[in-house]
C-alpha cells in the first residue's frame, strides 16, 4: 500500500472530521423520527443522544470508555497468555480474511474448537513454507500473532471477563436497546507494525447470524492509538440499514444435516469437503467489494472515501460500537506502531425471542450457554 504525505494525511483527517460533524448535525432531529435498528420500530422520545446516533448511523465512538489501568491489564495478560499457553510448535495456525479465508478457516478443527476457549492464530507472513513459525519470531512470539480468540471473556477472574461484565458495558448495551444480551465471542486482535494485514469489507452478522432478525452488536475497544496509518477502522455510515448479504456457514456436505442441527463439531458427511462456506442470502443485492478492499488497494483512501467509508481514529481506551450489518474494514498497518484491540460480539438471547443460527461456525459444547450480561442491582 502506498505511503501518504503529511499533507494528504491532514486532508484525510479534515475530511473525516467534517463527515463526523455532518453526521452529528443529522442526529439533531427528534429520536422518534429514527427507527431502532434492533427492533425496527421508532425510537422512544426518551432515548439518549448516543443511542439516537447509533441507530441512525450504525456506529458510535465513545472516548475514554476503558481506563488506562484496564488497557494495561489486558495487554499484560495477553503477553502472559502468549508466553505461557501458546503451543506454537504444534498449533501455529493462521487466521486471514482475504480470498484464502475459506481455505484456511474452512479446514481447521483448531479454529472450529476455539468457540469458548483461548486459541492463538498467527499472521500468514510469520509462517515459513513448512507451516512453522519463522525463526525470527521464536524469541518474541507475540509479534507473530494476528488474533487470539474466541473465549477470552469466559475465563474466570481474567481482565477480559471483568471488563465484559463491568457495569459500564452492561449499561451501554442496555441504553442501546438490547433486552437479553449474551456474548458468543471475544477476540484480541493484533495489527503488527509493518506486517499487520488488512481486514476486508464485511458485516459481522455474516459470521454471527441470528433469527428471526439480526442482533449482533460489536464492541471494538482500542488498546493502542488507532490511526489511518496503523490500521484504524473504516466504517460506511448508514450501511447498517442494508440486509445481511451472506452467511459464513457450516457446510452441510462436510458436517451432514444431523450434526448441524445438533450443533456438533463431529462431522458426519464428506470429510474432504470444506468445513465452512460462504452462502449469498437469497434476493439480497451484493456489493462488488464484499470480502475485498473497494476499488483495489493501490490508492485505498480515495477509493474508500469515494464509496462512503470514513476512518474512525481512536485513542487507547476509546470504544467503537457498531451494528452487525454495518459495512466496515481496516487497512494494513504500514507504520512502526502496533494497533491492538479487544473486541466483544453480543447478540440478543432467547429471552428476547432470538435464536443463534445452528449453521454458524461458532457453536459451544452441548449444555454450555453464552455468557449473559446482567447489571448489578
pLDDT digits (tens, 9 = 90+) for 167-176: 999 999 999 9
Q: 245-296 pLDDT, tens per residue?
A: 999 999 999 999 999 999 999 999 999 999 999 999 999 999 999 999 987 5
Q: How confident is the model at residue 101 (pLDDT cuts 50, 70, 90)?
A: very low
94 confidence band (pLDDT: 50, 70, 90)? low
pLDDT of 365 above 50? yes
User: Please, are residues 208 and 345 in contact by the beta-carbon 8 Å criterion?
Assistant: yes
**6-41 pLDDT tens trace:** 999 999 999 999 999 999 999 977 787 899 999 999
The residues facing 219 across adjacent strands are 321, 344
Task: Calculate Rg over the CA atoms of the chain.
Answer: 20
Backbone angles phi, psi at 145, to 5 degrees: -85, 145
DSSP annotation of 139: G
In the block, cell 482500542 appears at: 222
Over residues 314-352, the pLDDT tens digits come to 999 999 999 999 999 999 998 999 999 999 999 999 999
Query: Is the per-residue pLDDT at 96 higher than 60?
Result: no
Q: Would you say the pTM of this structure is higher than 0.85?
A: yes
148 touches 121 (CB < 8 A)? yes
DSSP 198: P
Cβ contact 286:191 at 8 Å: no
Res 296: pLDDT: 59
88 vs 231, more confident? 231
Domains and CATH numbers, the chain: 6-27+64-372 (2.60.120.620)
Residue 332 makes CB contacts below 8 A (sequence gap 6+) with 1, 191, 196, 197, 198, 231
**pLDDT score at 106:** 47
- How far lies 119's CA from each of 116, 133, 186, in Å? 9, 16, 11
Q: Residues with Cβ < 8 Å from 126, sequence gap 6 or more?
A: 133, 134, 137, 143, 144, 145, 195
- Tell me the per-residue pLDDT of 203-251, one tens digit each, with 9 for 90 and over: 999 999 999 999 999 999 999 999 999 999 999 999 999 999 999 999 9
Amino acid at each position: 500500500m502506498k505511503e501518504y504525505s503529511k499533507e494528504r494525511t491532514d486532508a484525510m483527517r479534515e475530511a473525516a472530521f467534517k463527515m463526523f460533524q455532518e453526521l452529528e448535525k443529522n442526529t439533531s432531529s427528534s429520536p422518534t423520527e429514527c427507527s431502532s435498528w434492533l427492533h425496527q420500530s421508532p425510537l422512544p422520545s426518551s432515548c439518549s443522544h448516543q443511542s439516537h446516533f447509533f441507530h441512525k448511523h450504525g456506529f458510535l465512538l465513545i472516548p475514554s470508555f476503558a481506563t488506562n489501568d484496564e488497557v494495561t491489564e489486558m495487554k499484560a495478560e495477553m503477553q502472559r497468555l502468549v508466553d505461557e499457553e501458546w503451543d506454537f510448535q504444534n498449533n501455529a495456525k493462521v487466521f486471514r480474511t482475504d480470498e484464502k479465508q475459506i481455505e484456511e478457516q474452512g479446514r481447521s478443527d483448531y479454529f472450529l474448537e476455539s468457540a469458548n476457549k483461548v486459541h492463538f492464530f498467527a499472521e500468514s507472513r510469520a509462517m515459513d513454507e513448512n507451516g512453522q513459525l519463522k525463526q525470527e519470531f521464536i524469541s518474541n512470539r507475540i509479534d507473530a500473532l494476528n488474533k487470539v480468540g474466541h473465549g477470552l471473556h469466559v475465563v474466570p477472574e481474567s481482565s477480559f471477563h471483568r471488563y465484559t461484565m463491568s457495569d459500564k458495558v452492561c449499561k451501554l448495551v442496555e441504553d442501546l436497546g438490547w433486552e437479553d444480551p449474551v456474548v458468543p465471542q471475544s477476540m484480541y486482535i493484533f495489527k503488527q507494525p509493518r506486517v499487520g494485514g488488512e481486514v476486508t469489507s464485511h458485516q459481522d452478522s455474516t459470521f454471527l447470524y441470528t433469527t428471526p432478525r439480526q442482533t449482533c452488536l460489536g464492541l471494538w475497544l482500542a488498546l493502542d492509538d488507532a490511526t489511518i496509518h496503523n490500521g484504524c477502522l473504516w466504517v460506511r455510515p448508514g450501511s447498517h440499514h442494508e440486509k445481511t448479504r451472506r452467511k459464513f456457514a457450516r457446510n452441510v456436505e462436510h458436517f451432514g444435516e444431523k450434526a448441524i442441527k445438533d450443533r456438533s463439531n463431529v462431522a458426519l458427511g464428506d470429510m474432504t469437503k470444506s468445513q465452512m462456506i460462504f452462502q449469498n442470502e437469497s434476493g439480497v443485492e451484493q456489493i462488488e467489494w464484499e470480502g475485498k478492499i473497494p476499488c483495489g488497494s493501490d490508492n485505498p483512501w480515495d477509493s474508500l472515501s469515494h464509496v462512503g467509508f470514513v476512518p474512525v481514529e481512536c485513542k487507547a481506551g476509546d470504544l467503537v460500537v457498531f451494528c452487525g450489518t454495518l459495512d466496515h474494514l481496516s487497512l494494513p498497518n504500514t507504520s512502526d506502531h502496533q494497533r491492538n484491540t479487544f473486541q466483544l460480539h453480543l447478540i440478543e438471547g432467547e429471552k428476547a425471542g432470538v435464536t443463534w443460527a445452528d449453521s454458524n461456525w461458532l457453536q459451544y459444547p452441548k449444555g454450555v450457554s453464552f455468557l449473559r450480561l446482567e447489571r448489578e442491582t
